[in-house]
């Protein structure tokens, strides 16, 4: 097996495992409870992975190509920023759980002077003819930024050429897309079933919010201790 194939397979497998890191799961869980169905869950995970991969390719790829490492203090600052984001997602999930209660998410708007209420529309962005959910993409981008320094530091020493290192980083990102998409896709079906029972959905959202807040605080405290201690 050539070094390139070894780099690709290693990156793919480690990337898939990387998707199951606690801070990743905590952040994505607060978003997954808003989706209905396996397909919607799969796309949520894929978008998180896409954002994650773009950050890795841009930052980690540049560092690896230039044989540089991210300054430790900058890496810790990015970790703290991600921790703050995870806590914010958790608090938002708790807020939505309390606000929506037993009735679920709704929105009210007017057409032709007539106001009506229906299920809430999810936030999204447009790329040409494609419609993408905004939050999973941005959450993935932030996670990728925070993980870039650690990834470059762990790039296998046996990968001597910049091309092999970039291949490893690219397949690592692809593995994270596949891993998170598979996870959220599998979770989408039971979450769609729970969506028929708004009270249960509200409880699941609150649980996800509490887990995210706890994980974010733990992660942020450890990073802040290293940075300032």
Sorting pLDDT into bands at 50, 70 and 90, what band is 86?
very high
Of the pLDDT bands very low, low, confident and very high (cuts 50, 70, 90), residue 157 is low
pLDDT classification of 125: cutoffs 50, 70, 90: very low
Asked if residue 130 belongs to a domain, the reply is no
- pLDDT range class, residue 94, cuts 50, 70, 90: very high
Quick check: is 132 in a domain?
A: no
The answer as to whether 110 is a domain residue is: no
Residue 135 lies in a domain: no
Considering the domain boundaries, does residue 115 fall inside one?
no
pLDDT at position 89 is 92
Q: Residue 156's pLDDT band (boundaries 50, 70, 90)?
A: low
User: What's the whole-number average pLDDT of the chain?
Assistant: 80
The residue that leads in pLDDT, 154 or 48, is 48
Q: Does position 52 have pLDDT exceeding 50, yes or no?
A: yes
129 assigned to some structural domain? no
Specify the higher pLDDT residue, 85 or 200: 85
Domain that holds residue 159: 10-101+140-228
Residue 62: pLDDT over 70: yes
Biggest CA-to-CA distance, the chain: 68
Q: Does residue 80 fall inside a structural domain?
A: yes
Domains: count for the chain: 1
Q: Average pLDDT in the 74-85 region?
A: 93
- pLDDT one-digit tens code per residue, 133-146: 678 888 999 998 88
117 versus 133: the higher-pLDDT residue is 133
Q: What is the DSSP string of 99-163?
A: HHTTT--EEEEEETTEEEEEEPPPPEEEETTEEEEHHHHHHHHHHHHHHHHHHHHHS-TT--SHH
- Would you place residue 225 in the very low, low, confident or very high pLDDT band (cuts 50, 70, 90)? very high
For residue 131, is it within any domain? no
Lowest-pLDDT range of 13-17, 54-58, 85-89:
13-17
């Amino acid at each position: 097996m050539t070094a390139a194939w070894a780099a690709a397979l290693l990156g793919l497998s480690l990337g898939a495992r990387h998707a199951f890191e606690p801070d990743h799961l905590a952040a994505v869980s607060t978003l997954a409870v808003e989706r209905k169905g396996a397909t919607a869950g799969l796309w949520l995970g894929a978008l998180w992975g896409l954002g994650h991969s773009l950050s890795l390719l841009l930052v980690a790829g540049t560092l690896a190509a230039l044989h540089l490492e991210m300054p430790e203090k900058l890496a810790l600052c990015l970790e703290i920023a991600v921790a703050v984001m995870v806590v914010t997602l958790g608090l938002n999930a708790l807020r939505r759980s309390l606000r929506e209660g037993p009735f679920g998410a709704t929105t009210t708007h007017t057409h032709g002077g007539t106001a009506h209420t229906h299920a809430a529309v999810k936030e999204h962005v447009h790329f040409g003819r494609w419609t993408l959910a905004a939050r999973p993409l941005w959450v993935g981008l932030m996670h990728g930024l925070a993980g870039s320094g650690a990834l470059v530091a762990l790039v296998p020493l046996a990968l001597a050429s910049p091309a092999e290192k970039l291949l490893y980083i690219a397949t690592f990102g692809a593995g994270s897309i596949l891993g998170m998409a598979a996870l959220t896709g599998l979770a989408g079906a039971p979450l769609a079933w729970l969506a028929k029972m708004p009270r249960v959905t509200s409880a699941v959202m609150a649980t996800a919010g509490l887990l995210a807040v706890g994980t974010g605080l733990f992660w942020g405290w450890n990073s802040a201790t290293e940075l300032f201690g």
